[in-house]
């Protein structure tokens, strides 16, 4: 009886309860609560709102923490239903270090730390902003966000290579611009780390205008870097787009209930 109840709770939390009405209500409620928490963090930075409505916001925070705490420990209790975590001790330890479990923990941990240990007001402000991490919990309830996560996992090797290429171009451009512009603008291009800042804003086509080359060779390097930026940032866009296509194609070939491939 207990195992059956535990399995029902697990399926309800993981969204595999065959799209039951209760599962939909729970998902909508959690999504709404997460969005309201994000909204609360934003409006608390408005001084007159924080001053006049602090009590209401604090009560809402306590209510949210209670719900998120129940959700967190219920998931730990029921996770042994999953074959990957079926061991009562090791399975829960393994689940504890999964990304979503860590996000769940971080969404409630600051509240309890602040309640137990006395911190100064600077930490209080940090704690209140840190609650914004709860928005990451939406990944549990959004099919689109789950799809995005699958894309990044499937294309992680290609994306890592792309990041390495971008990093290499930025460092190389920083070295060249430093060599060319340092003598002409010693107060601007003081060293290579400072030149990295120029490389980043140039390769991303932002160009704040606070640092720019004045020598002909430096301006030529800036043109090359800007053109490279247009091409380099198109690479991860193509990788992610192809990843979305592959994931959507695979989803069409799978049963929505059991996940098995449809012939």
Residue 15 and residue 77 in contact, taking contact as beta carbons nearer than 8 Å: no
pLDDT tens digit sequence for 209-261: 788 899 999 999 999 988 888 888 788 888 888 888 888 877 765 554 445 55
All residues at 6 or more sequence positions from 2 whose CB lies less than 8 Å from its CB, including other chains: none
By residue count, the chain amounts to 263
C-alpha 138, offset from chain centre: 10
The model carries a pTM of 0.65
Across the strands, what pairs with 261? 254
All residues at 6 or more sequence positions from 159 whose CB lies less than 8 Å from its CB, including other chains: 152, 236, 239, 240
Structure tokens at 147: 């799809």
pLDDT tens digit sequence for 177-191: 999 999 899 888 988
- What's the CA gap between 228 and 230, in Å, rounded? 5
What percent of the chain clears pLDDT 90, i.e. is strictly above it?
14
What is residue 249's predicted lDDT score, i.e. its pLDDT?
76
pLDDT tens digit sequence for 31-80: 899 889 888 888 887 888 888 888 998 899 899 999 999 999 999 999 98
H-assigned helices in 44-142: 47-78, 90-96, 99-106, 109-116, 121-130
All residues at 6 or more sequence positions from 100 whose CB lies less than 8 Å from its CB, including other chains: 137, 139, 140
Structure tokens at 21: 């009405």
What is residue 217's predicted lDDT score, i.e. its pLDDT?
92
What percent of the chain clears pLDDT 70, i.e. is strictly above it?
85
All domains in the chain, ordered by first residue? 2-141 (1.20.120.350), 156-248 (1.10.287.70)
Which H or E run includes 4?
A: helix 2-14
What is residue 231's predicted lDDT score, i.e. its pLDDT?
82
Q: Is the dihedral of CA 92, 96, 101, 104 positive or negative?
A: positive
Residue 140, class by beta-carbon neighbours within 10 Å (0-12 exposed, 13-18 middle, 19+ buried)? Answer: buried
What is residue 126's predicted lDDT score, i.e. its pLDDT?
61
* DSSP 3-state of 260: coil
- What's the CA gap between 233 and 37, in Å, rounded? 33
pLDDT classification of 81: cutoffs 50, 70, 90: confident
* 13 or 130, greater pLDDT: 13
The pLDDT of residue 19 is above 60: no
CA distances from 240 to 51, 69, 100, 234, 237 (A): 44, 34, 22, 10, 5
What is residue 73's predicted lDDT score, i.e. its pLDDT?
93
């Amino acid at each position: 009886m207990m195992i059956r109840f535990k399995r029902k709770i697990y399926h309800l939390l993981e969204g595999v309860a065959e799209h039951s009405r209760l599962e939909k209500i729970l998902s909508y409620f959690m999504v709404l609560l997460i969005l309201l928490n994000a909204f609360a963090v934003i409006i608390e930075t408005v001084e007159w709102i924080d001053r006049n409505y602090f009590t209401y916001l604090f009560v809402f925070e306590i209510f949210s923490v209670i719900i998120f705490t129940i959700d967190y420990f219920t998931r730990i209790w029921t996770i042994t239903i999953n074959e990957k975590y079926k061991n009562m001790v090791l399975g829960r330890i393994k689940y504890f270090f999964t990304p979503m479990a860590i996000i769940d923990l971080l969404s409630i941990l600051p509240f309890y730390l602040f309640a137990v240990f006395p911190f100064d007001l600077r930490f209080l402000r940090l704690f209140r902003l840190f609650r914004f991490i709860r928005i990451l919990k939406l990944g549990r309830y959004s099919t689109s966000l789950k799809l995005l996560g699958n894309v990044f996992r499937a294309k992680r090797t290609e994306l890592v290579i792309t990041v390495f290429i971008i990093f290499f171009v930025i460092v190389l451009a920083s070295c060249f611009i430093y060599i060319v512009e340092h003598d002409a603008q010693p107060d601007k291009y003081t060293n290579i780390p400072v030149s990295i800042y120029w490389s980043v804003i140039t390769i991303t086509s932002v160009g704040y205008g606070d640092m720019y080359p004045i020598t002909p060779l430096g301006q030529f390097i800036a043109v090359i870097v800007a053109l490279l930026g247009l091409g380099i940032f198109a690479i991860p866009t193509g990788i992610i787009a192809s990843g979305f296509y592959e994931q959507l194609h695979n989803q069409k070939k799978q049963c929505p209930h059991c996940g098995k491939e449809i012939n």
